[in-house]
Structure 1
Amino acid sequence: MVIYFESNVATPPAMIYMGVDKYENEELLKWGFPEDVWFHVDKMSSAHVYLRMSKDMTIDTIPPLLLEDCAQLVKANSIQGSKANNVQVVYTMFGNLKKTQGMDVGQVGFHSDKEVRTVKVERKINETLNRLNKTRQERTPDLRLEREQRDREERELQKQLLREKQREEQEERRRKKEESELRSYKSLMKDGNMTSNQRDVDYKEFEDDFM
């Protein structure tokens, strides 16, 4: 089961979700979206919270209020973290998560520590949590099917972008060819390069022949 929240501090509203337990978190680690951002309380057990970013958003341009929503949910769903102040929350792109053999259920590492960000949560903000909990929904999605559908859509988008790029390149080649032909035509039309079909005649010599 996956728990979903809607954050209306972003435009359009953002979807935040997390597994109901560590086993569901393990499934999310298999079938999450590469463009999602993963959140966890640093050095403490907590829920694995994910943010589905909009297309124009990056991990470094997440609006501060939306970042706070995610961090508050992580803190509230940590047994230790929920009771502590000044909690550090780490977050990174889903694609940076690393799962290796021998790791416990729900445990995860990183491919690159440089791609990990941190945000400090000084205290619990009940107003934020109450707002998010009003949107709470529990579902049992087919995570694998959702990921496969996402991948198909991404492949189609990449094919479309490739086709558009090829059309633009073809149009650019056509434009350059026309410009080259036009320059060649103008060069030929210059007076110095023009020739006459009329034969040059020495008129004085011609007249002398008939005198």
Structure 2
Amino acid sequence: MVLFFTSAAVNPAVTLYMGKDKVENEDLIKYAWPQDIWFHVDKLSSAHVYLRMPDGMAWESIPEPLLVDCAQLVKANSIEGNKKDNLTIIYTPADNLKKTGDMAVGQVSFHNDKRRVHVPKRENPIVNRLNKTKVERQVDHEQERIDRIKVESAVRRADAAQQKKAGAELAKAREYEKAARSYDTLFAAQEQDAEEEEVEAPKKSVREWEEDFM
């Protein structure tokens, strides 16, 4: 079972979730989404809390109120950490988690960087607000991944089609501009030739016109 929470620290609200036990945590490590950010108490046992970032949010610049919500939820779900003040919470993108076969259930390491946030003490109003939104749900992780990939693929195809259309329209506009410039150049050349002919043609006298007529 997975526990879901809603944080209204930002607008629109975002989803936080965590496994009910260490066995469930293994599935969350395996199936976390690319936009999920993992939180844990540093050097202590705690729940693995994930933030599902909305579009446009970067993990290096998570808004402070939302970061506090995540940290408080992690602290509240650590048996030892919940009783202590001045904790350090570590967080990193889910795809930065490293899991090897020799690790214990629920244990992880990291490929690259992680960040830290300091929690001076438990903030009951925050924890209570989050707990009021808690929903427990059975999740088919494999099907959820399949559905997510389908949606992401559809979005990529739509973006590619839009870019192709925009490229075709730009190419058409450039061809039109090129043709217009060529026409303007040709028209200007014709005008110049006509002017030169007028200048070069000698003016005839009245007698010369009469002789031509005769």
Same fold (TM over 0.5): yes
Q: Secondary structure at the match of 2:9?
A: coil
Amino acid across the alignment from 2:170: E
Percent identity of the aligned residues?
A: 46
Separation in structure 1 between the aligned mates of residue 63 and residue 203 of structure 2, nearest angstrom: 88
- Unaligned stretches of 5+ in structure 2? none
Q: Contact 1:38 / 1:51 at 8 angstroms: preserved in 2?
A: yes
1:163 aligns with 2:168: no
Q: In the alignment, is the contact (CA less than 8 A) between 1:3 and 1:17 conserved in 2?
A: yes
Runs (4+) of structure 1 exceeding 4 A deviation are 193-196, 200-211
The letter of the residue matching 2:15 is M
Residues 127-163 of structure 1: per-residue CA shift (max 9 Å, x gap): 1111111111111111111111111100110111111
2:56 corresponds in structure 1 to 56
Whether 1:147 aligns to 2:145 is yes
How far residue 39 of structure 1 moved from its aligned partner, in angstroms, is: 0.5
What is the CA RMSD across the aligned residues, in angstroms? 2.4
Evaluate the alpha carbon distance shift between residue 125 and residue 209 of structure 1 in structure 2; reply closer, same or farther with a 3 A threshold.
closer
- AA paired with 1:158? R
Q: In structure 2, what is the equivalent of residue 21 of structure 1?
A: 21
Q: Gaps spanning 5+ residues in structure 1: where?
A: none
CA distance in 2 between partners of 1:209 and 1:157 (Å): 80
Q: Once the 2 structures are TM-superposed, how far is the Cα of residue 209 of structure 1 from its aligned partner?
A: 7.7
For normalisation by structure 2, the TM-score amounts to 0.88
- Alignment CA distance shift 1:102-1:207 (3 Å): farther
SS at match of 1:5: strand
96-105 or 128-137, larger mean C-alpha shift: 96-105
Within-5 A mapping of 1:1-211: 1-113=1-113, 116-190=114-188, 191-193=191-193
3-state secondary structure, aligned to 1:168: helix
User: C-alpha deviations, 1:151-203, integer Å up to 9, x for none?
Assistant: 1100110111111111111111111110000000000001225699xxx8997
Secondary structure, counterpart of 1:23 in structure 2 = helix
Distance 1:141 1:97, change over 3 A: same
CA distance 1:40–1:187, shift in 2 (3 Å): same
Task: Provide closer, same or farther for how the CA distance between residues 103 and 36 of structure 1 changes in structure 2, counting only shifts above 3 A.
Answer: same
Q: 1:180 to 1:133 in 2, by over 3 A?
A: same
TM-score, length basis structure 1: 0.89
